[in-house]
Amino acid sequence: VLNRRCVEAAVMTGLALNCIINKKSLFDRKHYFYADLPAGYQITQQRVPIAVNGSLSYSLCIDNKMSQMVTKTVRIKQIQLEQDSGKSLHDDTRSQTLVDLNRAGVGLMEVVMEPDMCCGEEAAAAVRELQLILQTLGSSQAVMAEGQLRVDANVSVHRPGEPYGVRTEVKNINSIRFLAKAVDYEIQRQIEELENGGTILNETRAFDSKLGCTVPMRDKEGKQDYRFMPEPNLPPLILYDARSLPANMNHQQVVNIDWIHERLPDLPSVKRAKLVEQYGILPEHSFALLNEDGLTEFFENVVKQTQMKPKKVIGWILNYLLSYLKQHSLTVKESPVSSFLLADLLNLLEKKEISSTAAKQVLAELWKGEGKTPLEIVKEKKLELIQDEKELEQICQAVIDGQENEVIVVVRG
């Protein structure tokens, strides 16, 4: 039985990726024997998938300093719905395989991209943007480490002007970082192989994250005939839009593409543009904000609670808050410094009650999460900026008095 939510997620994703949604799509059985495939076949959409011909725009920094971004596009070939298999855990020491069937049959959405990317960085950026889109739509939480988003890379090399070379498929990539590494390694490997007079086999390789290289996978040999057959238990999937929807159709029985379109949330690219416009921050900043879960909210909360200009707030967020969180492997949600506290601190700075150096000291203290307010810490450490000129003079004089020799050196020039 088809899962309605899966269909809706696929339509949402298709719309977000500018695809043509096929109002009629079909299901097929793909047959092969494997321990983690209990039915001996997988239900997929080989003949007519649910969405085709879309595009995904993503941004890259030209140099590594986040100061110049370019926009690239990768074409989306299709999106298809299919079933997941179970999970095989190979125990080579005991020559056995453990099979976990819990996820067998769960709905999957496969997004197939065209080979429009040219290096690991582009692949990583494209997948990262896809991940953000999926998370924004709610189609998937898309956490690679948890297997919610699985990426297989197809890599080939060719000389400019010549047709595309033989491709290999690289599997077992568990993070975006590894994706970039795996792609770059494979490109290099293929170039070396060809320059040494060898050939590239159309094979499947696994990425070994420990060694940072790809190795041939022993299971998959030769071309399989999957004996595709239409899935007889699932009638063709018919989707409607406002025009084609029959008048007396029960709303709960159908999926209406237009209805979904109207309810699409702002995609990351739109959100970023809005942030730049609303707060006057740089595009790179908006990328950084969206890149970290919860950071945009945090930023906006601080802005609301402080008089400091957003253009200045962003610096504190990205340079101090974010780097601290990264150092301690914390998520924004786990931050011991709340937006309220930070706003409080920035207000002191803005009112010139403390210097920016002092602010950094207070922040360091706030990280301890002892529940003290910025003001309390300032008082405790006597970090107040002295507004009284007379007092300042006295202090300076005291310093000068205490450093007679240095003063003479300075006065002399």
Partner 1 sequence: AALQGALRLQVSAALKEGQVTPTELCQRCLSLIKSTKFLNAYITVAEEAALKQAEESEKRHRKGQPLGVLDGIPVAVKDNFNTAGIETTCASNMLKGYISPYNATVVQKLLDQGALLLGKTNLDEFAMGSGSTDGVFGPVRNPWSYSRQYKGKSVPKSHSEDEESNWVITGGSSGGSAAAVSSFTCFAALGSDTGGSTRNPAAHCGVVGLKPTYGLISRHGLIPLVNSMDVPGILTRCVDDAAIVLGSLAGHDPKDSTTIQDNFKPFELPNLTDVSKLSIGIPKEYHAPGLSSEILALWSKAADLFKNAGAKVIEVSLPHTCYSIVCYHVLCTAEVASNMARFDGLEYGHRSDMNRSTESMYAATRREGFNDVVRGRILSGNFFLLKQNYENYFIKAQKVRRLIANDFVKVFGSGVDILLTPTTLSDAVPYMEFIKEDNRTRSAQDDILTQAANMAGLPAITVPTALSKRGLPVGLQFIGHSFQEKQLLTVAKWFEKQVKFPIIQLEEVMRHDHNVFQHQKSASFS
Interface residues toward partner 1, by CB under 8 A:
1-2, 29, 31, 33, 35, 38-41, 97, 99, 101, 225, 227-229, 232-235, 253
Token digits of residue 40: 């001996």
30/41 Cα distance (integer angstroms): 5
- Smallest separation, CB 217 to partner 1 (Å): 16
- Smallest separation, CB 41 to partner 1 (Å): 6
109/13 Cα distance (integer angstroms): 9
- Smallest separation, CB 45 to partner 1 (Å): 15
Please enumerate in sequence order all residues whose Cβ is within 8 A of that of 110, keeping only pairs 6 or more positions apart, or say none.
79, 80, 81, 82
Q: CB nearer to partner 1: give 2 or 69.
A: 2
- Smallest separation, CB 166 to partner 1 (Å): 21
Q: Beta strand 96-100 with 237-238: parallel, antiparallel or unpaired?
A: unpaired
- Collapsing DSSP to helix, strand or coil, 280 comes out as coil
- Smallest separation, CB 138 to partner 1 (Å): 25
Q: Counting beta carbons within 10 angstroms of the beta carbon of residue 388, is it exposed (0 to 12), middle (13 to 18) or buried (19 or more)?
A: exposed
- Smallest separation, CB 243 to partner 1 (Å): 22
- Smallest separation, CB 227 to partner 1 (Å): 4
The answer to whether 362 and 354 have CB atoms below 8 angstroms apart is: yes
Q: CB nearer to partner 1: give 202 or 233.
A: 233
Please enumerate in sequence order all residues whose Cβ is within 8 A of that of 162, keeping only pairs 6 or more positions apart, or say none.
none
Q: CB nearer to partner 1: give 233 or 323.
A: 233
The answer to whether 46 and 28 have CB atoms below 8 angstroms apart is: yes
Q: CB nearer to partner 1: give 162 or 225.
A: 225
Q: Beta strand 20-21 with 51-61: parallel, antiparallel or unpaired?
A: antiparallel
Token digits of residue 264: 């699409």
Q: CB nearer to partner 1: give 1 or 411.
A: 1
List strands edge to edge, sheet with 20-21: 20-21, 51-61, 69-83, 107-113
Q: CB nearer to partner 1: give 66 or 234.
A: 234
Q: Tell me which DSSP letter residue 341 carries.
A: H
Q: CB nearer to partner 1: give 40 or 280.
A: 40
Maximal CA-CA distance, the chain = 97
